[in-house]
Amino acid sequence: MPARHSAPILPLQLLRRLVPRAEREEVLADVQTEYAGRVATDGRQLADRWLWQQALASAPALLRWSWWRGVRGFEPLANNYRPGGPMLKHVLADVRYATRRLMARPSYSLLAIVTLALGIGGTTAVFGVARPLIFDALPFAHEKEVTAFWFGGSWTENEFTYLRDKFPGYKTVAMYRHNDVTLRDDGAPARLLRAISSSADIFDVLGAHPMLGPGFKKGDDAVGAEPVVILSYGLWQELGAKQAIVGTRLTLGGTPRTVVGVMPRGFWFPNPSVRVWLPQPINPEGQNGSFQLIGQVAPGLDVYHMEAQTAALVTLLRERFTYVEEWDKTRNAHVDPIREDLLGPMRPALVATFAAMTLILLIACTNVAALMLGQLEGRASELAVRSALGANRRRLAQPLVVEALLIGLASGVMGAAFAVFGFGTLARALPLGTFGETASFDWTLFVAAMSFAMLAVLLVVLVPSVSMLRRQHANLQNVLSLARTGGVRGAGARVERGLVVAEVALAMLIASGAALLVRSVTNLYAINPGINTEGVAVIDVAASGGTPASQRDQAFNELATAFQAMPGVQSVSYAMRLPLRGNSNSFGITLAGEGPLEKSSTFFRMVSQDYFKTMGIQLKRGRLFQSTDKLDSTETLVVINEALAKKYFPNLDPVGRFVGGGLHEQQRIIGIINDVAEGALLDPNKPARYYLATQVWMGNNASFVIKMKDPRHAENMLTPLRQTVATKTPLLALLRTTTMQRVFEDAVGPARQIMTLLSLLSALALVLGAVGIYGVLAHFASRRKRDWAIRVALGLPGSRVITNILRQGVSLIVVGVVLGGVATMGLSRFLSTMLYGITGVDALAFAGASAAVLLTGLVAAFIPARRAGTVDPALILREQ
Amino acid sequence: MNRETADAPLGVFQEQILVAVLRTRDEAYGMNVRREIERVTSRSLAIGAVYATLDRLEEKGLLESKRSLADEHSRRVFTVTAVGGRALAEVREMRERLWQGIDLRGLLKLAGG
């Protein structure tokens, strides 16, 4: 026999893995012998080559062989009494066995599968919604180089023109604002498109290019330049998806515009609802503060470290401009990476929901692990026999893993189905704005579901296999005898109790998170916005740009009259801007005889005659607008709020006095109303002035408010109101319909939506937790039923049995509640941005959550306890 | 593949394996069978294919295997069963009937020219 040379490891390993175990040694020995012979005769290189050829060419045949043996169950006589055999054969046998076991126990299988599927489906749905917002790159190249400037939405053309070439530390800075436009196809009713007006270089800053057409060119943003437009992919598709669209004209907002580009599929900025981008004709003197700035930093600079450059910019601003205190851009100057600016606000909500969902998945895993552990207990004698007959650890654990895999597979498929159904609901329920409206899922959702399922299986199978392998060490005799008498205590029971505590703690974590938000949102709802939101429908409309003012006003009037004529309507009015929809439209104020006031700012609101009545705003002094207050009045009439009266007329009666600013100087105060939360819900009350719509109007948009006689009808009224807009006023495009109650809820902010979601999730967590507690205690009770039966037979009252089992349950639940409570205190700071009027350690919230968990747990524990306490001991003793 | 029975005609590769088992007599284990076929046909053969086919022939009852205890490694050694012998004989007989009356010299000339 020639001397052995060490053969290459890899091909040998490959053969080793593929050859059935019973024949592995002999085949490898023969291969090595022949290899050695070949080295001696042909040289090492050729021998290596031969070995590789053998391994690779054998692989398909060997795989087929394993499969075939697994399917046919063929084992040659010669292999009798040899260990092993093909691996796949055992796996297939285990699959068959597990399938039979699962089919034979439908309630166990169904419970395990549905429980896991709920967790998997929920987690997958949240992941599907969150993925584009948290993990995916933004759809433009310069994501890592672009910053958004502070004071978003309040920069002016004047400032931008002055700074345009001077921004320190930036390659290019662009400005943009939202500027929705109406699109009028031939004959079809006007429809509104979300649009961005921007300086011409915005796509250079972002690093995005149209897929069709040249895009904006320098100078497109000059006053008087030819009007052009870039379309989104979606709009291009709707318009027929013709390549030749570039160069044609579209009438947008009353202006014919030449199409100069179509953005590629998947592009969005600043959110997915924007359909068109227009160049903003930049008026160098423009003072309208409604623009946002984004800039691409100069090469070598880092978007996270722009402090020095920002400070230099502030110096430039301070040299040139003076600001009123409220709009002072030299304060709080900072820039954010563009991702933070666009998606940052949504993150807390997503993270909170995702965390809650993951906890629920964990609870589900715990439940299924406990279920499997219980099953294992019932199979103790089977396993002991297997082990006694020589099954090794792997052989013992494999059926368990296969069973878990089957459960995981089924629940993964079911979970994916849940995720698909839940996706839309979730996307709308989360505070994601237009991202929620445009969210969509794809096949990756299925992949995600399966991945979560496999992860869950790993977690699930861990506990029972560890417990089983540990038990394998125990004295076989002992196991067999215990299995026969059915009185096992020890490792299994301890693990089960641990699982229940973990489950309760997780449920407590979600429940107390939800309770914190409930408390916080209750506080927010308690804030009085100064209006009565009940039974008020809201219809936002817009006239096409370029509509003459007289036609526009007439259209508004006609629409108001049409609304008023509808059944059930109590009063109708309209305003330029409704309360609770954010700061905007402020002007400085002047007082008659005092000259201009330094740094003053008041809200400017234009409302129709019945506005105050419709909105439930109270008159405090003087009078409101009347039908006799007409356009031809020599002076402008103004109604002020209490905050204005208090601030500018501290010791005087303002009614009858004159103010100026914003318009001309002759504005006569006729009345004072209560303060209304015109901006955000939490803002301190700010001075506000209200003008009569027929005297003063700005812009093309109006919000109609319709008060219903029966407050419950506001929601149902939206559809007929919408139809009225479509049929009565072709000049006006419908922007959106809502109710004042929903406007208020939106103003309450993301906390409300997350609260609703978390409350639902905590209900789910409680149900799952209860199932877990029930399962473990039922198991505990049935394992010891013989002990109980003997004691009851000897005179122990049944109620003592009940209290004993309940005590077991309650002690586990209490430990879980305490652990969960402590964990919540540690984690509540992640919710802190959504908490209002409470801290993360809120006694009432914790008490509420604890009570809910305890109560659910008690009910779950009581069922098996009662069953154990009321059963006839004779029955059980006869059974054994 | 799974529907094959002992009655089905043998494949060429199966026939080669069976004959090689006969030729190697007492030494008919996988590696030797492979070597024998390689030696006679002078083309290289993957060991995996040989083992898989040996197995399948055993399941069909054409071969049977025993453990040899003599060697350093206990090997599966194959012998042809009565069924296997009959199958081989049939194949050979059928082939000879087919070849009857065909002039081999003319055929070689045809192949050569």
Count of residues making up chain A: 880
Please report the residues numbered 75 through 94 in chain A whose beta carbons come closer than 8 angstroms to any beta carbon of chain B.
76-79
Q: Determine the pLDDT at residue A83.
A: 53
Distance CA A269, CA A342 (A): 9
Distance CA A462, CA A815 (A): 23
**What is the rounded average pLDDT of the residues A580-598?**
70
Give the distance, in angstroms, between the CA of residue A331 and the centroid of all CA atoms in the same chain: 33
Taking an 8 Å cut-off on Cβ atoms, the answer to whether A30 and B67 are in contact is no
CA-angle at A498, arms to A880 and A819, nearest 5° = 145
Chain B contact for A480 (CB, 8 A cutoff): no
Task: Give the pLDDT confidence of A365-422 residue by residue, as tens digits.
Answer: 888 887 787 777 667 777 777 777 777 777 777 888 888 888 888 988 998 888 888 8
Q: Which residues of B touch A37 (CB under 8 A)?
A: none
Three-state SS at A299? coil
Give the distance, in angstroms, between the CA of residue A556 and the centroid of all CA atoms in the same chain: 38
Q: Which residues of B touch A75 (CB under 8 A)?
A: none
Q: Which of residues A485 and A50 earns the better pLDDT score?
A: A50
* Whether ipTM exceeds 0.95: no
Q: Which residues of A touch B51 (CB under 8 A)?
A: 19, 23, 27, 61-62, 65
Taking an 8 Å cut-off on Cβ atoms, the answer to whether A29 and B29 are in contact is no
In sequence order, the β-bridge partners of residue A658 are A668
Q: Which residues of B touch A18 (CB under 8 A)?
A: 48
Closest CA to A693 of A577, A585, A538, A530: A577
> Is residue A609 a contact partner of residue A626, using CB atoms and an 8 Å limit?
yes
Angstrom distances, CA of residue A167 to CA of A162, A328, A339? 10, 18, 21
* Residue from the list A26, A58, A61 with its beta carbon closest to the beta carbon of B76: A26
Give the distance, in angstroms, between the CA of residue A863 and the centroid of all CA atoms in the same chain: 37
Structure tokens at A577: 């801007």
Choose, out of B67, B71, B77, B81, the residue to mutate when testing the contact with A (most A CBs < 10 Å): B67
- Provide CB contacts within 8 A for A710, sequence distance 6+: A535, A568
The DSSP annotation for A262-283 comes to EPPTT--SS-TT--EEEE--B-
Does residue A498 have a pLDDT over 70?
yes
The DSSP annotation for A139-199 comes to SSTTTTTEEEESSTT-B-HHHHHHHTTT-TTEEEEEEEEE--EEE--SSSPPEEE-EEEE-
Choose, out of A4, A21, A23, the residue to mutate when testing the contact with B (most B CBs < 10 Å): A23
Task: Give the pLDDT confidence of A325-358 residue by residue, as tens digits.
Answer: 666 777 778 888 888 888 877 777 788 788 888 8
Task: Give the pLDDT confidence of A189-215 residue by residue, as tens digits.
Answer: 667 788 888 898 899 888 888 998 888
Q: Determine the pLDDT at residue A5.
A: 53
Residue A523 CB burial class (10 angstroms; 0-12, 13-18, ≥19): middle
Taking an 8 Å cut-off on Cβ atoms, the answer to whether A26 and B49 are in contact is no
Q: Which DSSP state fits A207?
A: T
Angstrom distances, CA of residue A411 to CA of A121, A421, A682? 9, 15, 45
Q: Tokens 């071969």 belong to which residue? A: B63
Task: Give the pLDDT confidence of A408-452 residue by residue, as tens digits.
Answer: 889 889 988 888 888 877 777 777 766 766 677 777 778 888 888
Q: Are strands A602-607 and A688-692 parallel, antiparallel or unpaired?
A: parallel
Taking an 8 Å cut-off on Cβ atoms, the answer to whether A76 and B58 are in contact is yes
Residue in chain A lying closest to B52 (CA): A65
Closest CA to A82 of A26, A10, A154, A5: A26
Distance CA B12, CA B17 (A): 9
Q: Determine the pLDDT at residue A473.
A: 57
**What is the rounded average pLDDT of the residues A286-293?**
78
Residue A4 CB burial class (10 angstroms; 0-12, 13-18, ≥19): exposed
Structure tokens at A575: 């305003």
Count how many pairs of residues, chain A against chain B, have C-beta atoms within 8 Å: 86
Q: Taking the complete model, does pTM exceed 0.95, yes or no?
A: no
Choose, out of B5, B47, B60, the residue to mutate when testing the contact with A (most A CBs < 10 Å): B47
Q: Which DSSP state fits A291?
A: B
HEC profile of A358-425: HHHHHHHHHHHHHHHHHHHHHCHHHHHHHHHCCCCHHHHHHHHHHHHHHHHHHHHHHHHHHHHHHHHH
Taking an 8 Å cut-off on Cβ atoms, the answer to whether A58 and B31 are in contact is no
Q: Which residues of B touch A66 (CB under 8 A)?
A: none
Structure tokens at A184: 């009028």
Q: Determine the pLDDT at residue B72.
A: 62
* Residue from the list B31, B58, B75 with its beta carbon closest to the beta carbon of A34: B31
Does residue B62 have a pLDDT over 80?
yes
Residue in chain B lying closest to A57 (CA): B46
Smallest Cα distance from A500 to chain B, Å: 50
Residues A31, A32, A35, A40, CA torsion sign: negative
Q: Determine the pLDDT at residue B73.
A: 64
Task: Give the pLDDT confidence of B10-50 residue by residue, as tens digits.
Answer: 888 999 999 999 998 888 888 889 999 998 888 888 988 99
Taking an 8 Å cut-off on Cβ atoms, the answer to whether B67 and A78 are in contact is yes
In sequence order, the β-bridge partners of residue A692 are A607
> Is residue A154 a contact partner of residue A601, using CB atoms and an 8 Å limit?
no
> Is residue A685 a contact partner of residue A675, using CB atoms and an 8 Å limit?
yes
> Is residue A66 a contact partner of residue A87, using CB atoms and an 8 Å limit?
yes
* Residue from the list A19, A72, A77 with its beta carbon closest to the beta carbon of B65: A77
Residue in chain B lying closest to A58 (CA): B48
- The single-letter code of the amino acid at A489 is R
Angstrom distances, CA of residue A102 to CA of A109, A372, A453? 6, 11, 18
Proportion of chain A above pLDDT 70, given as a percent: 89
Report the 10 Å Cβ neighbour count for A215: 20
Distance CA A487, CA A782 (A): 10
Q: In what order do the strands lie in the sheet with A181-183?
A: A191-193, A181-183, A249-252, A255-262, A228-231, A276-279, A195-198, A170-178, A292-297, A146-149, A335-337
Taking an 8 Å cut-off on Cβ atoms, the answer to whether B72 and A29 are in contact is yes
- Provide CB contacts within 8 A for A844, sequence distance 6+: A515, A519
Closest CA to A253 of A221, A229, A225, A232: A229
Task: Give the pLDDT confidence of A295-331 residue by residue, as tens digits.
Answer: 888 888 888 888 888 888 888 888 888 776 666 777 7
Report the 10 Å Cβ neighbour count for B34: 24
Q: Which residues of B touch A34 (CB under 8 A)?
A: 31, 35
How does A600-615 read in b/e, with b if 16+ C-beta sit within 10 Å?
Answer: bbbbbbbbbbbbbebb
Q: Which residues of A touch B49 (CB under 8 A)?
A: 57-58, 61
Q: Which residues of A touch B48 (CB under 8 A)?
A: 15, 18-19, 54, 57-62, 65
Q: Which residues of B touch A31 (CB under 8 A)?
A: 31, 47
Structure tokens at A703: 């919000």
Distance CA A854, CA A774 (A): 13
Structure tokens at A855: 């109560």
Report the 10 Å Cβ neighbour count for A694: 18
Alpha helices in A526-656 (DSSP H): 549-564, 611-615, 642-648
Taking an 8 Å cut-off on Cβ atoms, the answer to whether A54 and B65 are in contact is no
Proportion of chain A above pLDDT 90, given as a percent: 4
**pLDDT averaged over every residue in chain A:** 81
- Provide CB contacts within 8 A for B52, sequence distance 6+: A61, A62, A64, A65, A68
Residue in chain B lying closest to A50 (CA): B44
Task: Give the pLDDT confidence of A155-183 residue by residue, as tens digits.
Answer: 888 888 888 888 888 888 899 988 777 78
Taking an 8 Å cut-off on Cβ atoms, the answer to whether B55 and A64 are in contact is no
- The single-letter code of the amino acid at B52 is A
- HSE value, Cβ hemisphere, 13 Å, CA-based, for B24: 24
Q: Find out whether the peptide bond into A270 is cis, omega within 30 degrees of 0.
A: yes
- The single-letter code of the amino acid at A849 is A
Q: Which residues of A touch B44 (CB under 8 A)?
A: 50, 53
Give the distance, in angstroms, between the CA of residue A470 and the centroid of all CA atoms in the same chain: 42
Q: Which residues of B touch A26 (CB under 8 A)?
A: 29-30, 73-76
